[in-house]
Amino acid sequence: MSLSDAMHATGVEVNYYFICKRKLWYFTHGITMEHNSTRVEIGKEVHKNSFKRKNKEIMIDNQICLDFIDKELIINETKLTKAMNDATRYQILYYIYYLENKGIKQVKGIVHYPKSKKREIIELDGEERQVLDKVLKFIYAIKKSNSPPSLEKKRKCKKCSYYELCFS
Amino acid sequence: MKRNYYIFSNGRIKRKDNTICLENEKGKKYIPINDIEALYIFGEVDFNSKVLNFFGQNNITVHIFNYYGFYTSSIYPREHLLSGYSLVNQVKKYLDPVERIKLARETINTASYNILKNLKYYNPRRNEKLEDIILKIEKERKKIPYTNGIQDLMGTEGRIRDLYYSGFSIITMGKFKMKKRVKRPPDNPMNTLISFGNSLMYTTVLSEIYRTQLNPTISYLHEPGERRFSLSLDISEVFKPIITDRTIFKLINEGMIDQNHFTKELNFCHLNEKGRKVFMQQYEDKLNTVIKHKELERQVSYRRLIRLECYKLIKHINDIENYEGLKMWW
Ligand code: SF4
């Protein structure tokens, strides 16, 4: 498998990989849920109302979608909640990684929390680069697989949009 | 919470900003688009492409009934939850005769389990005739795993259904007699109630299928094409005893419906507007009834159970988990 194959992942896929590999499998096989949760709605609103005056959502290679890159090549992301989990962090790290592989160096990620008016800076280091190398290979394998990873009930399941599908 | 809206009056349906406006001589009524799960139209209603587009954008199915209350068609918006992967697998399961009969058998196995559950529930004093029907159905049911092809299975299913319907007059204490199940058109009040209930079930299931990746035209028990959305017929089998039949028994046994709710014309019989309204009310109440779901560890409505059944089928089709139909556990 060449690097370019492995690099065919979207930010959401990287995000899902860290949340739940089963969720990633459903998602990459077109099995998505109707989203009608209020959380998603609120998230969308926050997204819409931040960075009103700048361009937002830049699509690169039809693969990754950046919320915003300004002149200094900074990736801006907006998050509803304060807690930064691995999934969010690696999603941003992946954007940086992706740009780096395209020859665009020294990109930084900035996460904004409109609620608390705080921000956080994210940079890619060598260790994380290696993690992402591996993660992309795993994502590739999950996409190719005809069956999802087996089911185990975790705490986060109850809040997951696939909960009813997994446990019906 | 989204819900079904039933329109009995004549008039016009229009889009007004983000609401639906019902207009007739009595005045105007507005419904926010986000409140609508599906629309049932019984009256004679005019609508234009603007409102149809609006329904389409908001993924709302519209079910249309004719003057006599017979279901005629649905406006089914463009599929919005597409999965090519899942569709290919849904078709594969149909094309493989072994796989197809497996699913069809489980559907009938589940339906007949729920049928037996009803018969036993409505037989607290152990009526001899009903006991006899139960025994006969149990005997037929044992044949399901050995049925040879869909035709054979359909034969078994037909016999179970005839036996079951012959118990209807006993359950309703002779108030509504029915000699024979006659469908098109129904010839007496009991047949009318069953036909009406079954078409409601079909539309409810169709609305739920629409909210999943399942393709409604590819089915296993019924031949695809038997009706346009034949998968809806398959899944309905599981829920008819749980939802429509129980609604019918309640309507009759609690005296909510009587001969005055029917109109007879020539040799056939249909529910009048008053009758339809009483039926819809009870049917809707049934759909909204909640029970505790063991695996999910939460309360779910009967309507949600239909969605969960769709999810189980998706898992079966994609070889994630074997389908086991919903056997009434309560
Ligand atoms: S319910 Fe749990 S196992 Fe299923 S996709 Fe969600 S997190 Fe993963």
Interval B283-292: pLDDT, tens: 999 999 999 9
Rounded to whole angstroms, how far apart are CA atoms B132 and B94? 36
Contacts of B319 in chain A (CB under 8 A): 146-147
* B267 or A165: which leads in pLDDT: A165
Mean pLDDT, consecutive 10-residue stretches, chain A (168 aa), reads 66 92 94 67 56 59 67 70 78 89 83 79 91 94 91 89 94
- How many whole angstroms from A157 Cα to the centroid of ligand 1? 5
ipTM value: 0.84
Give the pLDDT of residue B160.
96
Percentage with pLDDT > 90 across chain B: 64
Q: Search chain B and give the residue with CA nearest A158.
A: B296
Kindly tell me if the per-residue pLDDT of B121 is higher than 90: yes
Contact B81 A165 (CB under 8 A): no
Residues of chain B neighbouring A153 (CB-CB closer than 8 A) = none
Mean pLDDT, chain B, integer: 91
B200, B201, B204, B208: CA torsion to nearest 10: -160
Instruction: Give CA torsion, residues B203, B205, B207, B212, to 10 deg.
Output: -160
Contacts with B311 from chain A: Cβ below 8 Å = 164-165, 168
Which atom of ligand 1 is the closest one to the Cα of A23? 5
The amino acid present at A107, given as its one-letter code, is V
Rounded to whole angstroms, how far apart are CA atoms A96 and A109?
Answer: 7
Distance of alpha carbon B186 from alpha carbon B171, whole angstroms: 20
Candidate from B25-29, B59-63, B267-271 with smallest mean pLDDT: B267-271
Contact check, Cβ <8 Å, A34/B85:
no
Which residues of B lie inside 8 Å of A (Cβ-Cβ)? 81-86, 211, 213, 295-296, 304, 307-309, 311-312, 314-315, 318-320
Q: Give the HSE-up count for residue B212: Cα atoms under 13 Å, Cβ half-sphere.
A: 28
pLDDT given at position A70: 67
pLDDT for A53: 47
Phi, psi for residue B164 in degrees, rounded to 5: -60, -50
A vs B, Cβ pairs < 8 A, gives 44
Give how far the C-alpha of residue B47 lies from the chain's centroid of Cα atoms, to the nearest Å.
26
Q: How far is CA B43 from the centre of its chain?
A: 21
Query: Worst-scoring range by mean pLDDT, A67-76, B73-82, B167-176?
Result: A67-76
Q: Cis link prior to B185 (omega < 30° from 0)?
A: yes
- List pLDDT tens digits, range B21-42: 999 888 899 999 988 989 999 9
Quick one: pLDDT at residue B144? 96
Cα separation of B302 and A119, whole Å? 46
Q: Tell me which residue has tokens 């409601």.
A: B200
Pairing, β A74-78 against β A108-113:
parallel
Gap from CA of A47 to ligand 1 centroid (Å): 25
Mutate to test the interface with A, among B311, B312, B313, B329 (most CBs of A within 10 A): B311
Confidence of residue B273 (pLDDT cuts 50, 70, 90): confident
Q: Left if phi > 0, otherwise alpha if psi is -120 to 50, otherwise beta: which for A111?
A: beta
| Residue owning the nearest CA to atom 7 of ligand 1 | A157
Q: Report phi then psi at A52, rounded to 5.
A: -60, -35
Side chain identity at B232, as an amino acid letter?
S
When CB atoms are compared, the residue of A31, A34, A163 closest to B314 is A31
CA A151, B86, B146, B326 dihedral sign is positive
Quick one: DSSP state of residue A64?
E
Sheet (strand B11-16) strand order? B27-32, B19-24, B11-16, B45-47
How many Å apart are CA B204 and CA B267, to the nearest integer?
A: 29
- Closest CA relative to residue B106, chosen from B328, B327, B330: B327
Atom in ligand 1 nearest the alpha carbon of residue A21: 8
Residues of B in contact with A31 (CB under 8 A): 83, 85-86, 213, 314, 318
Among A44, A30, A168, A16, which residue's Cα sits nearest to residue B81?
A30
- Please measure the distance between the N-terminal and C-terminal CA atoms of chain A and give it in whole angstroms: 37
List the residue whose alpha carbon is closest to atom 2 of ligand 1: A157
CA pair distance B254, B240, nearest whole angstrom: 20
Nearest CB among B86, B296, B308 relative to A31 is that of B86
* Residues of A with Cβ-Cβ distance to B83 under 8 angstroms: 29-32
CB within 8 Å of B18: residues ≥ 6 apart: B32, B33, B34
| Option in B213, B307, B309 nearest A31 (CB) | B213
* Contact of A142 with A24, CB cutoff 8 Å: yes
- How far A117 CA lies from chain B's nearest CA (Å)? 32
Asked if B319's CB is within 8 angstroms of A168's CB, the reply is no
Q: Find the residues whose C-beta lies inside 6 A of ligand 1.
A: A 20, 22-23, 151, 154, 156-157, 160, 162-163, 166
- Strand blocks (E) in chain B: 3-7, 11-16, 19-24, 27-32, 36-41, 45-47, 61-65, 71-75, 262-265, 268-271, 290-293, 298-301
For strands B290-293 and B298-301, give the pairing.
antiparallel
Helix (H) or strand (E) holding B200: helix B189-210
